[in-house]
Chain A
Amino acid sequence: MSAPDEYGLIRHAQQKHLAFTEVVDGLEASKFRFSAKDNLCAIGFQARAGSAVLDGYRPPFDATAISRLKGTGGQLVGKTTMDEFGFGTFSTNSAHGVPLNPFDIERSCGGSSGGAGAAACLIPGHISLGVSTGGSISGPASFCGVVGLTPTYGRVSRYGLIDYGNSLDKVGLLARSASLIVPHFRTMAGPDHKDPTSCAQPALGGKGKLPSSLAVPTEALENLDPAVLSGFRGALEGLRLMGITVKEVSMPSLRFALPAYYILATSEASTNLARYCGMRFGRREEDLNQHFNDFFTGVRSESFGDEAKRRILLGTFCRMVGFRSRYYLKSLAVRQMLIDEYRRVFQEHDAVLTPTMPFVPPRFDEISRMKPLEMYGADFLTVPPNLTGMPHISMPCHYADGLPVGMQMVADHWKELDLLEAAVAWEKEFPYHFPEVVL
């Protein structure tokens, strides 16, 4: 595709699907083009992380993932829409537009990297940088019918990422195929002294090993939309035909993942969001002649969205003296328990496979009727690997009435290349569909 057409697609993705918050004025003759979720800092763009509290904030530095991609000849073409600070499953909690699904604009792109999912789907060859805390890459990949890789925690530097939950946040990639992702994942991975948690990783190997044995937890097949369940079972048959062993196993700890995740993530988030108070960066109040407490409260009350406020309250509660050990410390123990459970499964299997989301992309009117707890529950398949820091990849495995259904494969820490190997093999057997774009 020639450059002007690609730029037309980017504008289309921005205007018709609200995938971008900002785009460049024109394309350069670069090797490849990529976009970044709006919580990744880049010189030349605002970094607002979907929040009005950061309106006008222009960071003075590039995130490491972005500078590394630029270093291999990439052009950053825009910032993609997202739930405020990553707080959401449908990208509906955004102060800068709600992205619309490429397959049906009345449906959600998933969240919180919704704009990234839409951009990856709408623009052939495009690389979207996404960020996952509890499923924010897998979810949009599933709903937008693309491949989404969430690396091991600590594999890609978080320097320049606006924090949600620092012990959970991971920078990853979304694109139309796993083969597109492989070279750029290699570029982004590796230690960075500006993020100490990236400095303990083993080197990325030369080539991954195709998983030959997959475990499907029975617990993950409960409470699924029938269309998702039958699509997923069909995919299992396809995998068996490829010579891969698929076995059902039991992973009873999975059900503790969701509450533990929301406690840890909101505890960390409530401290991360403390800095947004109208001083130093982002939106500020006009009236400076106030007590600092009133000034801070004014800015925060006005600028944070409802979901951000809900998570600040939840997280602050969980950190309080008296509740801390009951919630926060217990959740840390649950995280370790879950890691142990995955490790047990990995003694006999190469990866764990589940559907990615329990249903096909929902319509916005359906979402508006959902209660917060129902929304949190939609993450029950993506949260467990995120909580353990294990790498996972979501790829299309079925189309239900023209809407994509995704499956998610989880491997042990640092084994991203095995997952990519599996996804490359899969996309040769199962061709993906993308909606036709008429400019």
Chain B
Amino acid sequence: MKIGLEMHFQLPTRSKLFCSCPTTAAEPNQNVCPVCLGYPGSRPFLNRKALEVGLSIARFLDCQIEERVWFSRKTYFYPDLPKNFQITQYESPLGTSGHFELGGRRIGIWRVHLEEDPGRIRRVGRSGEEIAFVDYNRSGIPLVEIVTAPDLTSPEEARAFIDHLVIELRSLCGLEAQDEQTVRVDANISVGEERVEVKNVQGLRNLERALKFEANRQTKLLAAGKKVVRETRRFDEERKVTTSAREKETEEDYGYIGEPDLGEFLIGEMARSLDLKETPLVRAKRLVVSHGIGEATARQMVLTSTALTDLFEELCIIVPPERAVTWTMGTISANWGALQDPAKWPEIKLIVKDDQEDRITDNEAKRRLLKLAGVHQEEAAEGDADLARLISEFVDAHPEVLADYRKNPKAANKVIGHVMKESKGRYSSKEVVEEVRKELEKRV
């Protein structure tokens, strides 16, 4: 099975791609101006931050980057598209021929480019008598499109690919926290010879479902001696099936021409001078190699906290890595809320060193760490259990919280508020927040 993905992520900029309208949520048609409404006489100007973020993504994916790029007009008529053309990049993407490692395999990246989002259509009323409203707040929001080679081999792998990519991009350039739910994907999938494009799937869960359905459908067709027709299909989220959108024998003709209003951008210097942060999964890979710790441990650590991993690396200087893991992922991470203050790190290191050189016992070391964190040992033992119990009791009693949390992580605040009140300040807010998140993630 071959699967290729075209993913669209919203870039974390404060203003839109070609005007200064804010990207924040607002009442319909409030974040608009003559540029993003396509008024005659208005013209676009490029958001520098969006270009920088796009280029860091292209560099992170190890793409080839040209010295000079430009934008293009992709012309098609649709009510949510104010100019009836979309400004995108066609012959001249930010990056080409990159790759991303997934489970030890190289997944090819064909291209990375910037484009503007169209508006959004909302239909109101009974079926057949619907009224369509257009909200242009989304018009001009910066998107990065990332296109992979058809190197993915299963729906699960496709999901894992985006999952890992989002973890990395979130750390690299601050993609929004809910991008697993909001990512928009067009996927190409073929079980046999002919490929089918499933367009406009939103979110990872839907993507995996759509691909599984489609793989199954194609397999059955081929098994019955029938042919898979090359076409575009849509995923019906309610019925969880893909349906034919239109037969696609030839590519749609968008009549691309260069966008003359924006001119050309010399990006080589900007691309070279960008300082790329080490992303969590890249870091985990490095920890495995340089400290010989387990892959799962490394991944758990980097995903828990960047600062915790920093402390781990500092501890590795004074104790063997396996001991550093024990302390970091044990007592330290359990009391991370109180111990994350770097002012306490010299003392932590001292305790760990004393233990390593047998000046104190493990128990004594643990007692000192807990004291540094401001908890007594007896309380801590009960306390941890108590905190976990408070959380799980509340979530058991309020199953709707879990449903809300799936849609919006902010629903966790309800649990946090309850636990803070019940525990009367016995735990720091950080501890509570982390425990609640952990519990909810486990259940989701």
Q: Which residues of A contact B (CB under 8 A)?
A: 40-41, 47, 49, 54, 57, 59-61, 63, 158-163, 165-167, 193-197, 200, 267-268, 270-271, 274-275, 277, 279-281, 292-293, 296, 316, 319-321, 324, 328
User: Do A196 and B45 have beta carbons less than 8 Å apart?
Assistant: yes
Please give the distance in Å from A46's CB to the nearest CB on chain B. Answer: 11
User: Do A274 and B75 have beta carbons less than 8 Å apart?
Assistant: yes
User: Do A319 and B257 have beta carbons less than 8 Å apart?
Assistant: yes
Please give the distance in Å from B383's CB to the nearest CB on chain A. Answer: 58
A49 with B79, Cβ < 8 A, contacts A197-B261, A197-B263, A328-B257 known: no
Residues of A within 8 Å of B40, CB to CB, are 41, 47, 49, 54, 57, 59, 162-163, 275, 281
Residues of A within 8 Å of B45, CB to CB, are 193-194, 196
User: Do A274 and B43 have beta carbons less than 8 Å apart?
Assistant: no
Please give the distance in Å from A311's CB to the nearest CB on chain B. Answer: 14
User: Do A320 and B260 have beta carbons less than 8 Å apart?
Assistant: no
Please give the distance in Å from A206's CB to the nearest CB on chain B. Answer: 28
User: Do A158 and B251 have beta carbons less than 8 Å apart?
Assistant: no
Query: Closest chain B residue to A276 by CB distance?
Result: B40
A274 with B84, Cβ < 8 A, contacts A293-B77, A319-B75 known: yes
Report Cα–Cα, A268/B83, bound state, in Å: 13
Question: Can you name 10 A-B residue pairings with CB atoms under 8 Å?
Answer: A47-B41, A49-B40, A59-B34, A63-B41, A166-B261, A194-B43, A196-B262, A197-B261, A270-B255, A280-B39
Residues of B within 8 Å of A293, CB to CB, are 77
Report Cα–Cα, A193/B83, bound state, in Å: 21
Report Cα–Cα, A218/B436, bound state, in Å: 84
A195 with B41, Cβ < 8 A, contacts A268-B260, A292-B78 known: no
B360 at the A interface (CB under 8 A): no
Residues of A within 8 Å of B78, CB to CB, are 292
B60 at the A interface (CB under 8 A): no
Residues of B within 8 Å of A54, CB to CB, are 40
Interface string of B68-91 (1 = CB under 8 A from A): 000001010111001111000000
A167 with B77, Cβ < 8 A, contacts A47-B41, A196-B45 known: no
Residues of B within 8 Å of A268, CB to CB, are 257, 260
Report Cα–Cα, A196/B436, bound state, in Å: 49
Please give the distance in Å from A198's CB to the nearest CB on chain B. Answer: 10
User: Do A59 and B263 have beta carbons less than 8 Å apart?
Assistant: no
Please give the distance in Å from B246's CB to the nearest CB on chain A. Answer: 14
Query: Closest chain B residue to A157 by CB distance?
Result: B43
Query: Closest chain B residue to A64 by CB distance?
Result: B41
Residues of B within 8 Å of A319, CB to CB, are 75, 255-257
User: Do B255 and A281 have beta carbons less than 8 Å apart?
Assistant: no
Query: Closest chain A residue to B78 by CB distance?
Result: A292
B141 at the A interface (CB under 8 A): no
Please give the distance in Å from B249's CB to the nearest CB on chain A. Answer: 14
Please give the distance in Å from B71's CB to the nearest CB on chain A. Answer: 11
User: Do B261 and A271 have beta carbons less than 8 Å apart?
Assistant: no
Report Cα–Cα, A52/B90, bound state, in Å: 33
Report Cα–Cα, A165/B75, bound state, in Å: 15
Query: Closest chain A residue to B91 by CB distance?
Result: A329
Interface centre among B41, B75, B78, B251 (most CB of A within 10 A): B41
Residues of A within 8 Å of B46, CB to CB, are 196
B269 at the A interface (CB under 8 A): no
Q: Which residues of B contact A (CB under 8 A)?
A: 34, 37-46, 73, 75, 77-79, 82-85, 134, 251, 253, 255-258, 260-263
Residues of B within 8 Å of A271, CB to CB, are 73, 75, 85, 255, 257
Residues of B within 8 Å of A194, CB to CB, are 43, 45
Residues of A within 8 Å of B42, CB to CB, are 61, 159-160
A158 with B43, Cβ < 8 A, contacts A271-B257, A274-B84, A275-B83 known: yes
Please give the distance in Å from B264's CB to the nearest CB on chain A. Answer: 10
User: Do B260 and A167 have beta carbons less than 8 Å apart?
Assistant: yes
Report Cα–Cα, A47/B258, bound state, in Å: 26
A321 with B251, Cβ < 8 A, contacts A275-B82, A280-B82 known: yes
Residues of B within 8 Å of A41, CB to CB, are 40-41
Residues of A within 8 Å of B73, CB to CB, are 271
A195 with B75, Cβ < 8 A, contacts A319-B256, A320-B255 known: no
User: Do B41 and A274 have beta carbons less than 8 Å apart?
Assistant: no
Query: Closest chain B residue to A322 by CB distance?
Result: B253
User: Do A292 and B79 have beta carbons less than 8 Å apart?
Assistant: yes
Report Cα–Cα, A193/B19, bound state, in Å: 11
Residues of A within 8 Å of B257, CB to CB, are 267-268, 271, 319, 328
Query: Closest chain B residue to A42 by CB distance?
Result: B41
Report Cα–Cα, A67/B30, bound state, in Å: 26
Residues of A within 8 Å of B263, CB to CB, are 196-197, 200
The 4 closest A-B pairs by CB, nearest first: A319-B255, A274-B84, A167-B260, A166-B260
Residues of B within 8 Å of A324, CB to CB, are 255-256
Please give the distance in Å from B289's CB to the nearest CB on chain A. Answer: 46
Residues of A within 8 Å of B262, CB to CB, are 196
Residues of B within 8 Å of A321, CB to CB, are 251, 253
Residues of A within 8 Å of B79, CB to CB, are 279, 292
Residues of B within 8 Å of A320, CB to CB, are 253, 255
Residues of B within 8 Å of A160, CB to CB, are 41-42
Residues of A within 8 Å of B84, CB to CB, are 274-275, 277
A281 with B261, Cβ < 8 A, contacts A274-B77, A292-B78, A319-B75 known: no
Residues of A within 8 Å of B258, CB to CB, are 167
User: Do A61 and B255 have beta carbons less than 8 Å apart?
Assistant: no
Residues of B within 8 Å of A280, CB to CB, are 37-39, 82
Query: Closest chain B residue to A166 by CB distance?
Result: B260
Report Cα–Cα, A218/B38, bound state, in Å: 45
Residues of A within 8 Å of B260, CB to CB, are 165-167, 197, 268
Report Cα–Cα, A328/B83, bound state, in Å: 21
Query: Closest chain A residue to B35 by CB distance?
Result: A194
Residues of B within 8 Å of A159, CB to CB, are 41-43
Report Cα–Cα, A295/B405, bound state, in Å: 42
Report Cα–Cα, A41/B43, bound state, in Å: 13
Report Cα–Cα, A330/B42, bound state, in Å: 29
Please give the distance in Å from A47's CB to the nearest CB on chain B. Answer: 7
Known: A61-B34, A159-B41. 19 other contacts (CB 8 A): A47-B40, A59-B40, A61-B41, A61-B42, A159-B42, A161-B41, A163-B40, A166-B261, A195-B261, A268-B260, A274-B85, A275-B40, A280-B38, A280-B39, A281-B39, A296-B77, A321-B251, A324-B255, A328-B257
Report Cα–Cα, A316/B73, bound state, in Å: 12
Please give the distance in Å from A394's CB to the nearest CB on chain B. Answer: 25
Please give the distance in Å from B303's CB to the nearest CB on chain A. Answer: 41
Query: Closest chain B residue to A41 by CB distance?
Result: B41
User: Do A277 and B77 have beta carbons less than 8 Å apart?
Assistant: yes
Residues of B within 8 Å of A161, CB to CB, are 41
Please give the distance in Å from B429's CB to the nearest CB on chain A. Answer: 44
Please give the distance in Å from A60's CB to the nearest CB on chain B. Answer: 7
Query: Closest chain B residue to A153 by CB distance?
Result: B260
Please give the distance in Å from A287's CB to the nearest CB on chain B. Answer: 14
User: Do B38 and A195 have beta carbons less than 8 Å apart?
Assistant: no
A162 with B77, Cβ < 8 A, contacts A196-B262, A324-B256 known: no
Interface centre among B42, B45, B83 (most CB of A within 10 A): B42
